[in-house]
Amino acid sequence: MNLPATLLLAVSAAAFTLPASAQFAKPEDAIKFRQSALTVMGTYFSRLGAMANGKAPYDAAAAAADAEVVAMVSHLPWQAFGPGTDKGRETAARPEIWQEQAKFKDRAEKMQATVAEKLLPAAKSGSLEQLKAAFGPTAQSCKACHDDFRRK
């Protein structure tokens, strides 16, 4: 099985076995989980960025596989921002996440939609031009949330 298929299985298993609120024994575990998911997403997104910005050779198959990972993992961090997870481990999460939940949710949903509707189709198109066009708006959707909700 290839990596995206393996991750997809893991993600599906994680999503369907337990309610989101029951997944973490301690706030520290939730914080680690979301930091890990965001790190994985950022790692794969950065690979796409390197191709989009001409810093790495364009590889259409790798771009499609990388974007599949970003798309899958884009759904994961949010379940780990539950009540009481503002502390418990070093975190750059700002208190506004819990004070302005509707806004935070909106930012998270916009990012997921941008990935699903722009980045993923572009990365699967086989066109570097399309990947370049989709990369900027997707990076902006990451940044929009970081600007308001992540400590500098």
Instruction: Report d(CA 38, CA 126) in Å as an integer.
Output: 26
Judged by beta carbon, residue 8 or residue 40, the one nearer ligand ASC is 40
Write the DSSP symbol of residue 33: H
* Least gap, CB of 142 to ligand ASC (angstroms): 4
Instruction: Report d(CA 51, CA 26) in Å as an integer.
Output: 39
Instruction: Report d(CA 93, CA 66) in Å as an integer.
Output: 26
State which of positions 47-106 bind ligand ASC (CB under 6 A): 49
* Least gap, CB of 47 to ligand ASC (angstroms): 9
Tokens at residue 123, please? 């990365």
Tokens at residue 53, please? 């910005």
State which of positions 125-144 bind ligand ASC (CB under 6 A): 139, 142-143
According to the binding rule CB under 6 A, does residue 45 interact with ligand ASC? yes
Query: Phi, psi (5° rounding) for residue 75?
Result: -90, -10
* Least gap, CB of 41 to ligand ASC (angstroms): 7
Instruction: Select from 14, 28, 36, 42 the one that contacts ligand ASC (CB under 6 A).
Output: 42
Judged by beta carbon, residue 64 or residue 142, the one nearer ligand ASC is 142
